[in-house]
Amino acid sequence: MRGLVTRCLVKEAAERPSPDQVLIALSTLLDAHYGEEWLPADFAELIKASRREH
């Protein structure tokens, strides 16, 4: 989590993660800790679709 927060606070906006990258990073962290069931199904599907695009 610290690495994600650090990247979000970088001075140069172009070097910060995009909102999609933040969501993917958070979902990965939470999935590792709680499993994939912590999100409502609609949100989980949006994240999976975003992962397929990137």
Mean of pLDDT over the chain: 85
pLDDT band of residue 41 (cuts 50, 70, 90) is confident
**3 state SS of 17:** coil
Tell me which long-range contacts 1-8 makes (C-beta under 8 A, separation of at least 24): 1/29, 4/29
Question: What is the Cα 33 distance to its own chain's centre?
Answer: 14
38, pLDDT greater than 80: no
Round to whole Å and give the CA distance between 24 and 44: 10
Whether this model's pTM surpasses 0.85: no
Q: What is the mean pLDDT of the segment spanning 28-51?
A: 78
pLDDT band of residue 27 (cuts 50, 70, 90) is confident
Residues 6+ apart with CB under 8 A from 8: 16, 17, 22
Radius of gyration over every alpha carbon of the chain, rounded to an integer in angstroms = 12
